[in-house]
Amino acid sequence: MTALADRTSSELADVRQLARGFFEKEVVPRREEFAAAGRPSREVYSAAGQLGLLGMSIPEIYGGGGGDFRHEAVLFEEQVRAGDSAMQLGVHSGIVPHYILAYASEENRQRWLPKLCSGDWIGAIAMTEPGTGSDLQGIATRAVRDGDDYVVTGAKTFISNGAHCDLLILAVKTDPSAGARGLSLLVAEVSDATPGFFRGRVLHKIGQKGQDTAELSFDGMRVPAANILGESEGRGFAQLMQQLPQERLICGIAAAAMIETAVQQTVEYTKSRNAFGKTLFDLQNTKFELAECATIGRVVRTFVDDAVAKHLVSELDVTTAAMVKYWTTDRQFEVVDRCLQLFGGYGYMEEYPIARMFVDGRIARIYAGANEVMKDLISRSL
């Protein structure tokens, strides 16, 4: 057991070094380019795939790395520490492939997963609709069976990777009269030439400006019936509930990394900046603020690491995942805000990473289920 732990620790250190180098060399220097375009280039996904950084927890027989969720967690942490918010790797590697691995047919696993792991294809998942946010039972996009196909009609919004995606998991209603049991998940292979599939505008956000968050619409788009996830219709809601804990844990991992990065950078800044004849760090208020923020970071890290350990042995329940998601992202916003204050006017300048953390991280309290919804889920277990 010790040897295995040591080997895994060494592997994770290697992944961390590889990921750090990738973001520093391939992604961060292009931050302004991606922000201006409203999307990252497809080439950075291909580059990540060539390095083996995509699908690290997917079995090797499907083109993945054969690791576990810890390998993915290291990637997400290094992305946050590098200050990149253009690549939506949480969706592409942390969410989409795992729906396919868990519920797709063997033929479709072999067709789709290698292309996602190589970066040849970019993955997205479409749940949110213009009139429906966290209420997944209220979606209106329809999929009607027609021979060997489903015909999909409706609209989705706030879709990460929407402008680039080649593979799209769609939450649809196959039986509108059945409530949650009428929801299914379909996988569509899409391109700009797909009949009935339309990419809308890339949305202008206050943060994550380099990430292609888009509107999508469907007007009679045909999807093979064989692309439904699960053996029959109506399993989508249960599948979402089974997979959402990992999505929410990814939010917690990012929150922990952002808190630690914000504190580290603020300590460095306050120790180098002078005011009133001493460094900012020498002022009691600065010391106390950073002491509190560092303590919050330690508690968040402990909570997240415990949740990761539970997830590795399939013991991360829906309630705990909701606790992780809401509490860590609330603390992230609190700590980043307090650290920004210690930068003074410079904290309000976009050229400083703390300012980008402030706007890039704000969405964490909203996506993957708004934090108010997380509290409601938790209350049901009380």
Residues labelled as active-site residues: 247
* Phi and psi torsions of 90, nearest 5°: -60, -40
Tokens of 350: 């976009």
Exposed, middle or buried, 285 (CB in 10 Å: 0-12/13-18/19+)?
exposed
How far apart are alpha carbons 261 and 276 in whole angstroms? 27
Calpha distance 309→378 (Å, rounded): 20
3-class DSSP string for the chain: CHHHHHHHHHHHHHHHHHHHHHHHHHHHHHHHHHHHHCCCCHHHHHHHHHCCCCCCCCCHHHCCCCCCHHHHHHHHHHHHHHCCCCCCHHHHCCCHHHHHHHHCCHHHHHHHHHHHHHCCCCEEEECCECCECCCHHHCCCEEEEECCEEEEEEEEEEEECCCCCCEEEEEEECCHHHHHHHEEEEEEECCCCCCCEEEEEECCCCCCCCCCEEEEEEEEEEEEHHHECCCCCCCHHHHHHHHHHHHHHHHHHHHHHHHHHHHHHHHHHHHHCEECCEEHHHCHHHHHHHHHHHHHHHHHHHHHHHHHHHHHCCCCCHHHHHHHHHHHHHHHHHHHHHHHHHCHHHHHCCCCHHHHHHHHHHHHHCCCCCHHHHHHHHHCCC
Q: How far apart are CA 206 and CA 221, in angstroms?
A: 32
Rg of the Cα atoms in the chain: 21
